[in-house]
Structure 1
Amino acid sequence: MNYQALFEQIRLKKSFLCVGLDTDEKKIPAHLLTEEDPIFEFNKAIVDATAHLVVAYKPNIAFYECKGAKGWLSLEKTVCYIKENYPEVFLIADAKRGDIGNTSQMYASAFLENMPFDSITVAPYMGEDSVTPFLSYKDKWVILLALTSNKGAFDFQFFQEGEQKLFEKVLEKSQEWGSQDNMMYVVGATKAEMLSDIRKIAPNHFLLVPGVGAQGGSLQEVAKYGMNDHCGLLVNSSRGIIYADSTLKFAEVAREKALELQEEMAALMDAKGIL
């Protein structure tokens, strides 16, 4: 999916909502546990209930890897189901990969060739040759970790040399490797006030913003500081949507929670003149 196609979906659905499929078998409704593949059945129900309201889904790969081969099968079934039934949806492999060049090439092949993901999150610490293998696929995206929402972000990301913080160096240097057409950045919603500084360095790139909802991030603040003329945002909510209810009505409640965010997003885009 290219930049324009993603923007068109945002305008069509009046939404920049990404739902994180961080599916934990210990947290899904008990009645699903008798199914052959409870994780897939849970994901399928969430997707069918929310796909008309979202532009992206983001499975966190750790939640599937921990189950071994069975978990990988649930993941593959999930992403194939989404692409077969909702091909307009942008799929993010939240894998946070990044290694020496030939290893990164194998990671890229795993997620961008052998599964129908549109993008993958990548850690930038090892530099250019660990990132560029992921950028070799047409209409696929690298989503580079820039400024995260966890408290440990202060351990390294704010390290300052001269007038430039480390996360600012990542933003600046990485634009030599990719462009706004194939590279996004992860910026945590709990650091929304930093988005204005990030926009000075990367004014046109899409930003994937986790942390809205259960983690305490403010959608209004994210839009205030981070939205550009093409929206430029994919705002993720995971627990606040997928685990909003644990009864037989879990998918219906997930739809209601997604709708609340979508309606707020539509109002924010309308105020910005995007719709």
Structure 2
Amino acid sequence: MSTEHLLAQILAKRSFLCIGLDTDPQQLPAGLQGEEDPVFAFNKAVIDATHHLCVAYKPNTAFYEAGGSRGWASLERTIAYLNTHYPDHFTIADAKRGDIGNTSGRYARAFFEGMDFDALTVAPYMGRDSVEPFLAFEGRFVILLALTSNPGAFDFQTLPCGTEELCLRVLRQSREYSHPERLMYVVGATKASYLSKVREVVPDAFLLIPGVGAQGGSLEEVCRYGMTDGVGLLVNSSRGIIYASQGEDFAAAATKAAATLQMEMAAILKAAGL
């Protein structure tokens, strides 16, 4: 998928919502426990109920890897279902990979070729040679961790690095990597005031914004500081949508929660003249 196609979907749906499929088997409604694959059954129901309100889905792979081969099979079924039934949606494997070059190359093949995700979150700590293997795949995107939404982000990510903070150095340095047009960045909604600084370094790149909803981030502030003429934002909500209800009405509740965010996004896009 190209960023042009992603933008077209955003403008058509009046939404830049990404839904995180952080599906915990211990939080599934009782009525799904009899399914052959309860996790996939839950994901399928959420996807079918929300696909018209969002432009992206982001499974966090930890929730699947914890289940061993059974959990991995649920992830494979989920991405296959998305690619078959909703191929216009941008798909993100939230795996936060990153290692020495040949290992990164294998991780990239697993997610881009093996499961056909559009994008993968990658940790930048090991530098250029750990990131560039992911950038070698045409039509795929690396979403580099820049400034995350968790409280511990301040342990390292905002420390001085020369004349700027480390997170900004990561952004600046990454623009020198091969195929920088395939880079997107994670910037947490709980750090919205940093978005102006981020945009000085990466004025046009897409940003994946976690932390709206359950973590307390403000959609209005994120858009005020981070939106570009080409939108440039994918705002993620996970628990606030998929666990809007833990009863048998979970899919309908997910639709309602996603629609609330989508309507706010539509109003913001209209006000921005987009």
Q: What displacement does 1:179 show?
A: 5.2
**Contact 1:180–1:206 at 8 Å: present in 2 too?**
no
> Cα RMSD between the aligned structures?
0.8
Q: What displacement does 1:30 show?
A: 1.2
Counterpart in the other structure of 1:185: 185
Measured against aligned partners, the alpha-carbon deviations of 1:133-188 in whole angstroms (never above 9, x if no partner) come to 10111110000000001111111101103421100100000011155631100000
Q: How does 1:47-58 map to 2 (within 5 A)?
A: 47-58=47-58
Counterpart in the other structure of 2:229: 229
Counterpart in the other structure of 2:262: 262
Q: How does 1:14-29 map to 2 (within 5 A)?
A: 14-29=14-29
Q: Distance in 2 between matches of 1:155 and 1:216?
A: 20
Counterpart in the other structure of 1:161: 161
Q: Distance in 1 between matches of 2:244 and 2:202?
A: 34
TM-score by length of 2: 0.99
List runs of 5+ in structure 2 lacking aligned partners: none
Q: Which moved more, 1:154-163 or 1:253-262?
A: 154-163
Q: Distance in 2 between matches of 1:77 and 1:190?
A: 32
Aligned residue-pair number: 274
Name the aligned partner's letter for residue 36 of structure 2: E
Q: Distance in 2 between matches of 1:266 and 1:179?
A: 32
TM-score by length of 1: 0.98
List runs of 5+ in structure 1 lacking aligned partners: none
Measured against aligned partners, the alpha-carbon deviations of 1:51-80 in whole angstroms (never above 9, x if no partner) come to 011000000000000100001100000000
Cα distance change, pair 84–23 in 1 and its aligned pair in 2 (3 A): same
**Contact 1:58–1:94 at 8 Å: present in 2 too?**
yes
Cα distance change, pair 272–86 in 1 and its aligned pair in 2 (3 A): same
Counterpart in the other structure of 1:200: 200
Matched, 1:13 2:13: yes
SS in structure 2 of the partner of residue 125 of structure 1: coil
Measured against aligned partners, the alpha-carbon deviations of 1:14-51 in whole angstroms (never above 9, x if no partner) come to 10000000000111111111111000000000000000
Counterpart in the other structure of 2:95: 95
Name the aligned partner's letter for residue 152 of structure 2: G
**Contact 2:91–2:118 at 8 Å: present in 1 too?**
yes
Q: How does 1:38-49 map to 2 (within 5 A)?
A: 38-49=38-49
